[in-house]
């Protein structure tokens, strides 16, 4: 947690300037009652107008100095706190970017968003307040007591006794509120989660008429947040009157003892007035201190939550034996007895998987839903680590590649097309740094989306994603294929990416892909697509049921024959397989 605050180091000078200005302001504030005492005792009581004028002038001058110091302090405080917030946001963002999938499972997206926004703001506000008033409050407290001691140490003893009681109470509140506010931030995560899910699933909610249900869910999360916040604030609210009570008793005591001493002639009226004045200032500071405690407790909770993200160990990093010179040259892929299991799951999703794909060849992967197709291809760009066996690219274990050069050579088209807010060009060009206009158009043409784009209102400059035009499922799929193609990858992975395309468009796409001479993995449910590939891999519940050419599989894989039967009519079946349907079962 302290690491989070240590980023303030970069702003040492500005912080020093802000603190110096605070001290200046504080000095003026502490001198004022002293001057007031002088004006009363030497000016008013002795009817000396000259003294009143002189010290009145000094007080005015000091007030102007304090004003200027205050403005300058605000300037520095704002500078430090805003930059500090900016730094932390950037660091958290970069850290999250480096997360592996396993890391992501630990932090829900909504929680990461709260941490990057609300928690950073809490820290920012606290830093601003610290520089602006936080230091002033404890110093004014201590300074008030010290000045009182200087004015009249006997009378000031009352304050000296009251102070430890106040401090003990304050530290107790600080500790208790810290834990309470951590709960508050967790509840805020909850509210954000419901909100996020709702905004993303708006169409579904409307179609299913689940508005009331969702409203209830939101209300519940929101209510939990309210209850937690109220109970945390109550602690602070109760603490203010308690502190003021102690101080008021002290002031009464000072007045009582002071009056007696004045009548005995052992103390001047101005001195009593000064000490009472200091006591009132201390009282007003206590209210501020309560606010500060609240801010600090919140900041402590937020710093803890941000620290959790920053301290997360990225488990999928490069090891010592990484060969920095390695890069994908051919795109040969081989799986050797690969077994893989998701860290959060109990069972292996892939077991003893072995196969290989030659340079420039296409492998179709088939299998029922949940059989492990997506999991299998995720292992090639090393999004997850295998538990057993090896994944080799160009004959080298993927673990030996620098992650960047490994992933640079791979184009991924995920099962669910993801578009970013921006123009069509930006979305396609996203696949390759500094992609030229021509490269983008060429990729779009090959992905069979060029004609569709030409019909959009602003063609390639049309905005898609949020607040842009909506595209159909198949259009999104083809945009993400174009995004992968623009990379000119050595290995291309299409995860069910042609599912929404009609046969004719799909055929054109597959023909266009041939000229890319990249090793291609096509996950598909369609036999017609699979037949275009050099070989087909059939997965069944995480195991390789069969692997070979279409002709080979017709002889060796009952599962494949079944799929062929179910997808083709009798005549087509005969044409595709070369034998009558009845003879195959």
| 374 touches Mg ion (CB under 5 A) | yes
- Please give, one letter per residue, the 3-state secondary structure of 534-569: CEEEEEECCEEEEEECHHHHHHHCHHHHHHHHHHCC
| 6 touches ligand TTP (CB under 6 A) | no
| 499 touches ligand TTP (CB under 6 A) | no
198 binds, among Mg ion, ligand TTP, none (CB under 5 to 8 A by kind): none
Collect all residues with Cβ–Cβ distance below 8 Å to 105 and sequence separation of at least 6: 343, 344
| 367 touches ligand TTP (CB under 6 A) | yes
By CB under 6 A, which span of 237-245, 272-280, 364-372, 454-462 interacts with ligand TTP? 364-372
* 3 state SS of 397: strand
371 binds, among ligand TTP, Mg ion, none (CB under 5 to 8 A by kind): ligand TTP
Query: Roughly what angle, to the nearest 10 degrees, separates helices 12-38 and 136-151?
Result: 30
CA angle 215, 221, 223 (to 5 degrees): 95
| 462 touches Mg ion (CB under 5 A) | no
| 368 touches Mg ion (CB under 5 A) | no
By CB under 5 A, which span of 273-281, 367-375, 404-412, 533-541 interacts with Mg ion? 367-375
Q: Give the separation between CA 526 and CA 157, rounded to whole angstroms.
A: 90
What φ, ψ does residue 354 adopt, rounded to 5°?
Answer: -135, 135
- C-beta atoms surrounding 67 within 10 Å: 12
| 370 touches ligand TTP (CB under 6 A) | yes
| 342 touches ligand TTP (CB under 6 A) | yes
Closest CB to ligand TTP among residues 405, 499: 499
* 3 state SS of 86: helix
By CB under 6 A, which span of 41-49, 134-142, 320-328, 369-377 interacts with ligand TTP? 369-377
Residues between 409 and 438 that touch Mg ion (CB under 5 A): 415
With beta carbons less than 8 A apart as the criterion, state whether 235 and 180 touch.
Answer: yes
Burial status of residue 230 (CB atoms within 10 A of its CB: 0-12, 13-18, 19 or more): exposed
| 381 touches ligand TTP (CB under 6 A) | no
| 369 touches ligand TTP (CB under 6 A) | yes
By CB under 6 A, which span of 255-263, 373-381, 398-406, 546-554 interacts with ligand TTP? 373-381
Query: Which residue's beta carbon is nearest to the bound Mg ion?
Result: 374
Q: Give the separation between CA 123 and CA 14, rounded to whole angstroms.
A: 17
What character string, x for contact with ligand TTP (CB under 6 A) and - otherwise, covers 382-421? ---------------------------------x------
| 499 touches Mg ion (CB under 5 A) | no
Q: Give the separation between CA 128 and CA 134, rounded to whole angstroms.
A: 9
| 524 touches ligand TTP (CB under 6 A) | no
Size of interface with ligand TTP, in residues (CB under 6 A): 12
Binding site for Mg ion (CB under 5 A): 374, 415
């Amino acid at each position: 947690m302290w690491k989070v605050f240590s980023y303030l180091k970069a702003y040492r000078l500005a912080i020093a300037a802000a603190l110096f200005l605070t001290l200046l302001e504080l000095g003026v504030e502490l001198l004022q009652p002293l001057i007031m005492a002088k004006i009363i005792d030497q000016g008013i009581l002795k009817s000396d107008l000259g003294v009143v004028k002189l010290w009145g002038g000094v007080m005015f001058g000091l007030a102007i100095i304090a004003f200027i110091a205050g403005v300058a302090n605000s300037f520095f405080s704002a500078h430090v706190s805003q930059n500090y917030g900016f730094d932390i946001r950037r660091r958290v963002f970069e850290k999250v970017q480096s997360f592996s999938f396993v890391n992501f499972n630990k932090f829900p997206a909504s929680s990461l968003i709260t941490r990057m926004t609300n928690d950073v703001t809490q820290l920012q506000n606290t830093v601003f307040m610290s520089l602006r008033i936080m230091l002033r409050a404890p110093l004014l407290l201590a300074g008030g007591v010290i000045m009182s001691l200087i004015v009249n140490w006997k009378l000031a003893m009352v304050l000296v006794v009251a102070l430890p009681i106040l401090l003990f109470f304050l530290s107790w509140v600080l500790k208790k509120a810290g834990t309470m506010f951590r709960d508050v931030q967790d509840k805020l995560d909850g509210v954000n989660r419901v909100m996020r899910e709702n905004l993303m699933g708006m169409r579904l909610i409307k179609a299913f008429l689940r508005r009331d249900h969702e409203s209830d869910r939101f209300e519940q999360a929101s209510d939990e947040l309210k209850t937690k916040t109220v109970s945390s604030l109550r602690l602070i609210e109760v603490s203010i009157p308690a502190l003021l009570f102690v101080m008021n008793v002290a002031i009464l005591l000072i007045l009582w003892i002071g009056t007696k001493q004045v009548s005995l002639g052992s103390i001047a009226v101005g001195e009593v007035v000064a000490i009472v004045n200091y006591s009132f200032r201390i009282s007003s500071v206590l209210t501020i201190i309560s606010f500060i405690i609240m801010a600090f407790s919140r900041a402590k909770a937020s710093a803890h939550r941000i620290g959790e993200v920053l301290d997360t160990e990225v488990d999928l990093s490069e090891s010592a034996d990484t060969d920095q010179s390695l890069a994908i040259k051919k795109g040969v892929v081989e799986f050797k007895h690969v077994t893989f299991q998701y860290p959060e799951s109990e069972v292996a999703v892939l077991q003893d998987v072995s196969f290989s794909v030659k340079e420039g060849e296409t492998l179709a992967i088939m299998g029922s839903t949940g059989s492990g197709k997506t999991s299998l291809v995720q292992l090639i760009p090393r999004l997850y680590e295998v538990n057993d066996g090896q994944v080799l690219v160009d004959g080298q274990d993927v673990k030996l590649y620098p992650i960047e050069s490994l992933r640079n050579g791979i184009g991924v088209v995920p099962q669910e097309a993801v578009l970013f807010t921006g123009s069509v060009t930006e979305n396609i060009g996203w696949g390759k740094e500094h992609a030229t206009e021509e490269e983008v158009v060429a990729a779009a043409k090959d992905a069979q989306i060029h004609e569709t784009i030409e019909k959009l209102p602003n063609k390639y400059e049309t905005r898609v994603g949020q607040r842009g035009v909506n595209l159909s499922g198949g259009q999104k799929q083809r945009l993400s294929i174009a995004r992968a193609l623009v990379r000119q990858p050595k290995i291309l992975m299409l995860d069910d990416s042609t599912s929404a395309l009609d046969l004719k468009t799909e055929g054109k796409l597959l023909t266009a892909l041939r000229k890319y001479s990249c090793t291609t993995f096509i996950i598909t449910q369609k036999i017609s697509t699979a037949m275009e590939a050099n070989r087909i891999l059939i997965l069944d519940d995480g195991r390789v049921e069969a692997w070979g050419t279409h002709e080979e599989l017709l002889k060796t894989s009952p599962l494949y024959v079944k799929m062929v039967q179910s997808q083709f009519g009798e005549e087509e079946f005969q044409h595709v397989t070369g034998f009558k349907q009845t003879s195959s079962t």
